[in-house]
Amino acid sequence: MLTDQFNRVHNYLRISLTDKCNLRCAYCNPVDLPRGYFKGSARMTAGEIEQIVAVFVKQGVKKIRLTGGEPLVRKDAGEIIQRISKYPVELAISTNAVLVDKYIDVFKDAGIQSVNVSLDSLTREKFFAITRRDEFNRILDNIYLLLQNKFHVKINVVVMKNVNDDELNDFIAWTKHLPVHIRFIEFMPFAGNDWSREKVFSYQEMLAVIATQYKFLKLQDAKHDTDKKYFVPGYEGTFAVISTMSQPFCSGCNRMRLTTDGKMKNCLFSKNEVDILGALRSGVDIAPLIQQCVWDKEKALGGQFTPYDENFDASSISNRRMINIGG
């Protein structure tokens, strides 16, 4: 069992298969920065991913989520999904859904039941402005395809002030006849994404906007949930807010991350990384490294900032771009 010094048990691993993506969202992969993809031997192979997964499972991991970049642009994504599906874990995936139609059968065969889809606008024009790619209709079609095939679909919406905060109630309306779970995410600071507190549309602001059109009720949140869940009575879907910047959920965190170049991060905002891939290739037992990495986890937000610090300077954070960490 992987436990940190604050008695938090860690049993959820997020693995980034690639830092490549077929979209170019500014908050994740800023267009004015060089792409800098990990290639060749710098990246974990399918076999190495499986070896590392085997160790994490022996340490008590019960859930694995595959992320990116866009995980499905990796040519051996199907093989990796198949390899991990052999282990006694709940397997899930986060995707922008551009390529989902090519992987429906792979998901089914692997026992994947939950798919998170990134979609920051319900209009084609604004979607293009955010992602710099004209894939809106294809993504919508693939969301409907997932629902038709009985997958549990969560829609991740990064809410940015004066960008897409005017669409909150449009997303809520979408849940009336669709069994989707909308998750509104506060804009978070990462290397190069031009974050400022003025661009953050907070949890309370979101609920206030939604309350102008809808009467909604609170749902019970599980111990390790990152989102605060709600529903509109009579609607098929639900919605939630991930309030990382205004009301962090660090006290119940059970997550670890493995980047595509094999570095372990014990927090999304941790400045320190442990080279799991390098150790594996050198024949070193990686279990103690994993255990120590978890033990060293800070109490909240990687120890780099606090949610209510009005003087917080995002440039002071030591971290990667979001696309180089994994969503």
pTM of the model: 0.94
Compare 291 and 31 and report the one with higher pLDDT. Answer: 291
Contact 245, 206 (CB under 8 A): no
Q: Average the pLDDT over 145-160 and give the result.
A: 97
Return the percentage of the chain with pLDDT > 70, whole number. Answer: 97
Q: What is the CATH number of the domain that holds 217?
A: 3.20.20.70
Q: Average the pLDDT over 108-126 and give the result.
A: 97
pLDDT value at 30 more than 70: no
Residue position matching structure tokens 């549309």: 201
Total number of domains in the chain: 1
Cα–Cα distance for residue pair 317/315, rounded to 1 Å: 5
Predicted confidence (pLDDT) per residue in 254-299, tens digit: 999 999 999 999 998 898 999 999 999 999 999 999 999 999 999 9
Cα–Cα distance for residue pair 220/234, rounded to 1 Å: 17
Query: What is the length of the chain?
Result: 327
Q: How confident is the model at residue 313 (pLDDT cuts 50, 70, 90)?
A: confident
pLDDT value at 169 more than 80: yes
Q: What pLDDT sits at residue 327?
A: 74
Q: What's the whole-number average pLDDT of the chain?
A: 92
Range of the domain at 281: 2-325
Predicted confidence (pLDDT) per residue in 181-231, tens digit: 999 999 888 777 777 888 889 999 999 999 999 999 999 998 889 899 999
Region of poorest pLDDT, from 102-106, 255-259, 309-313: 309-313
CA neighbor of 28 nearest in space, from 46, 13, 16:
16
Q: What pLDDT sits at residue 304?
A: 85
Non-local CB neighbours of 88 within 8 Å, separated by 6+ positions = 57
Cα–Cα distance for residue pair 39/18, rounded to 1 Å: 9
pLDDT value at 33 more than 60: no
